[in-house]
Amino acid sequence: MTQRLFGTDGIRGAAGKFPLDGPTVIRIGAALMRSLDQNHLEKSVVIGRDTRESSQWIEHALAVGAAAEGARVTSIGVAPTPAVAFLTASGGFDAGVVISASHNPYGDNGIKIFTAGGIKLNEQHETALAKIVLDDSWTTPDAGSAPVVDLELLRLYLQHIRSVLPNPTGLGPMRLAVDCANGATAGVAPRLFGELGFEVITTGCEPNGRNINDGCGSTHPEHLSQFVKARECPMGVALDGDGDRAIFVDGRGHILDGDKVLFVCAKHLQSENRLRGDAVVATEMSNVGLKISLEDLGITLVRCAVGDKYVMETLTEQKLALGGEQSGHIIFPDILPTGDGLLTTLMILQAMTATGRELDSLAEELMVYPQVLVNVRVREKTNLETLPDVAGVIAEVEQRVVEQRGRLFVRYSGTEPVLRIMLEGRDQSRIKHWAEKIAEVVERRLG
């Protein structure tokens, strides 16, 4: 085999085709256990899955491969990704696996793998595991047994995150709109919030195997926006297919992305002296307005590469308590080692309870700067520093942008022959002009 196995977020592709065909999935399960054996760890793995029609057979194939290598395999059934991360970290398992393609259409699927600490595999671990899977010198093992099903383990996860907000006092019998994307949280989110005393109004909570993320969930927040206004709810939350991220809508139907959620949570944690280091981790794509608004509160913004696993790595390295992405992956590492849409919702509700304020009031304190993004197709990805005219115009524009407390971000796409030019600043027309100025020079040299 010479094909690529891991992508930017685990293994992902069309269900039934490499690398998510039956024989390869069995090899992945076996290879994961072999990699654990090489590291002298006990062989035990917990598996959860989303609601895609392919998730159950992929789970079974992976479990069969793992069991053939002597592993103790436990399935918790349909469950959000953070539940598997939590159980891997605290339930005595040496690895955790989630069968999900997150926000992708139902025809896709994926495999996310967590280490014993509930942390996603880093690139070094992915490379080592892929080498075993793609090594033709060993044969696919004989079939092992199916996993042991233990649905009670999911209750431990819910108890853990519920402890963050044991009693939503101060909010009253608030109506809470919840969009579960017809995904992994459909069976747990309404129950969780209902038990906490909220009047839960649901949408996207009727999975049929093919409707996950179909016009609903965090990738289609406009659906929740209309739903919130029609049902007159003071707020709503849109989760994604595997439940590790959330996008919010306030009572006026305004959509709040991860930057606004990070700001609200940072201010709340700071008020309770829980924002360790007075710093927050965000990716390169977060709006410069988040940086400025946090600085006004005495909070430093630490940037990292795009991807929730890089957010978690930075949080761990710098021993910080909050990080996230614009896409809605928000991580509270003191509580869970991965993003969690349900936990994020509880933290937002806690901030509302503590302040007695509505979500729109809390979020409007974040100053969001206008943003312009220009994509330029290039014939080759030449190092821009070796092109004097391109490097010169970038340096000139960057100086002007910084003077306006804005930001310039230029990078090649990782998947396309495209250079992305992103500017943020106070004046929309001015940053648009500067972006086009850079694009013109790039097109002349590389287009």
Question: Active-site positions?
Answer: 102
For residues 252, 253, 258, 263, the Cα torsion angle rounded to the nearest 10 degrees is: 0
Residue 16 to residues 19, 24, 30, 143, Cα–Cα distance (Å):
8, 10, 18, 18
Q: What are the φ/ψ torsions at residue 28 (nearest 5 degrees)?
A: -60, -45
Residue keyed to tokens 């940037």: 303
What angle do helix axes 81-90 and 153-162 make, rounded to 10 degrees? 100
What residues contact residue 210 under an 8 Å CB cut-off, 6+ apart? Answer: 52, 53, 106
Residue 403 CA to residue 263 CA, distance in Å, equals 24
Task: Say how many C-beta atoms besides its own lie within 10 A of residue 221's C-beta.
Answer: 24
What residues contact residue 438 under an 8 Å CB cut-off, 6+ apart? Answer: 374, 390, 393, 394, 397, 410, 421
Q: Residue 346 CA to chain centroid, in angstroms? A: 17
